[in-house]
Structure 1
């Protein structure tokens, strides 16, 4: 039974990485026609409506009290703050470099979880992050060529930290069904993003290009609904720092897709960096941990 559960969690982990790998590319396409905050608001507004419909069909209970507040907090951090900053950054930065910075999410998650006394510091997790981040940096080497605007880079770092804190927060909040948590969270984030878009003076209009419509469709269904429901499934079953290793698998998918769809340079560095990423993921997330030693029984008087 336990093996079946482990296999299901691992399958959800890999599916999350594959689906999320297209997000940065989709955002790049969306940003070419739509203002960043408006594009993000459209995406999460549509995704929240879809998830609320799933809640209604499955008759899932709407959270109340502390559970509702927790779902809203998760949404503001994981979707509102994170994607507002990421959409802004990806206007001027290639998807590959964006995913390189986000590959530091596992290390940030581990440090935040340790600081908040949710996990113990694990040397192998830190070593795994170093390997994985080095691998992502290698395969994204071409993305560092040229000027990288400082505000865009700082926005990426802020997005990475918000992602990490949102993952840690899930472990502290009352447990809510993954569909419900995302439905409430995305609704709260959509309200925040619409308000931010209005304040920024974005032009509220629907796309004219077919490519933008396809990108939005993917971002709503694959990149939001399926990705984050699966991600919460993993977070509820693994430690926060372990689940966050999905962020170092995503860049391999993102860079290949970006090269195919967005003309991002793709070189032989991919063959060098990918093994480093796989070693890092194994050490930090997949390596079997030794069972904790049991305390010795006290001697009888």
Structure 2
């Protein structure tokens, strides 16, 4: 009975997380129209880190020390600092649906980087998934390039996905840290890096004056950075991380629908075909369980 209830809670949290996370890229697009990319991302993580720091105080969670602290800092630099610098830059010109589809490559990139760092072995399924995903990227890239979207913006989104994946690989080498603490420290580190980058690059740093920018900023701080994270933690109470990772292949569909409705993103045959190829590649290469591996897993 308790297992059934846990499964229902996990499914509800998974559905809510996928829908809410689907709005992140759309909100960033709106934020970018008034706020410079690095400044907007830095402001987001200053506020989100403050909320998570308050949660740490309420839960009486200590700051990590030694190697655990180093792991949290590196996680922050990669997962929030470098990755969001690239994705915010990319979303200035790339529509949210296309951008989120490119970010769906994260599980596949994670597997390939884990192979590169000799944490896992290269499987034939990973090779097949990579081929499918690359075909999807080529299809997706065709449409924006026809509409004079800079190649660098598309590459920024892919670079952001690589940084997300590298963060997941790096963090395995360090002692585990409570997820609230890990994200509070990580977002704090990212905020410092992003704001410093904003100063160095000479961005204009102003507070929003438009109501839609405030709404977008509030969304990515409260919902996109805190609520979505808490839902993910709730999912992991009942599901394995490999199963929870399926959110990466659900979120793009939500984003495409929201972006088409709120940001006039054209839903073309190339976008749909490219999305499906990428998601098929991610499933085949990184998420699908091999029969032998599946049979060795204990029943849940």
TM over 0.5, yes or no?
A: yes
State the shift of 1:245 in Å: 4.7
How many residue pairs match? The answer is 292
Is the contact made by 1:109 and 1:244 (CA closer than 8 Å) also made in structure 2? no
5+ residue gaps, structure 2, are none
Corresponding residue of 1:91: 92
5+ residue gaps, structure 1, are 295-301
More off after superposition, 53-62 vs 185-194:
53-62
- Structure-2 change in CA distance of 1:122 and 1:156 (3 Å): same
Structure 1 residue matching 2:241: 3-state secondary structure = coil
CA distance in 2 between counterparts of 1:68 and 1:215 reads 31
- Structure-2 change in CA distance of 1:220 and 1:292 (3 Å): closer
Corresponding residue of 2:113: 112
State the shift of 1:78 in Å: 0.4
State the shift of 1:226 in Å: 2.5
Corresponding residue of 1:36: 37
State the shift of 1:275 in Å: 6.4
CA distance in 2 between counterparts of 1:289 and 1:168 reads 24
- Structure-2 change in CA distance of 1:277 and 1:114 (3 Å): closer
CA distance in 2 between counterparts of 1:17 and 1:175 reads 25
CA distance in 2 between counterparts of 1:122 and 1:9 reads 29
Note if 1:124 corresponds to 2:117: no
- Pairing of 1:21-60 with structure 2 (within 5 A): 21-60=22-61
More off after superposition, 122-131 vs 209-218:
122-131
Structure 1 residue matching 2:265: 3-state secondary structure = coil
CA distance in 1 between counterparts of 2:200 and 2:219 reads 27
Is the contact made by 1:109 and 1:165 (CA closer than 8 Å) also made in structure 2? yes
Note if 1:154 corresponds to 2:155: yes
Structure 1 residue matching 2:122: 3-state secondary structure = coil
Compute the TM-score of the two structures, normalised by the length of structure 2. 0.82
Corresponding residue of 2:193: 192
CA distance in 1 between counterparts of 2:134 and 2:19 reads 18
Corresponding residue of 1:203: 204
Corresponding residue of 1:213: 214
User: C-alpha deviations, 1:224-263, integer Å up to 9, x for none?
Assistant: 1133444566599435xx7655333221111111101101
Corresponding residue of 2:228: 227
Query: CA-atom RMSD, angstroms?
Result: 3.3
Corresponding residue of 2:287: 285
State the shift of 1:96 in Å: 2.4
State the shift of 1:92 in Å: 1.7
Is the contact made by 2:49 and 2:188 (CA closer than 8 Å) also made in structure 1? yes
CA distance in 2 between counterparts of 1:106 and 1:35 reads 29
Is the contact made by 1:105 and 1:245 (CA closer than 8 Å) also made in structure 2? no
More off after superposition, 203-212 vs 243-252:
243-252
Compute the TM-score of the two structures, normalised by the length of structure 1. 0.82
Is the contact made by 2:18 and 2:247 (CA closer than 8 Å) also made in structure 1? yes
Corresponding residue of 1:297: none
State the shift of 1:128 in Å: 4.8
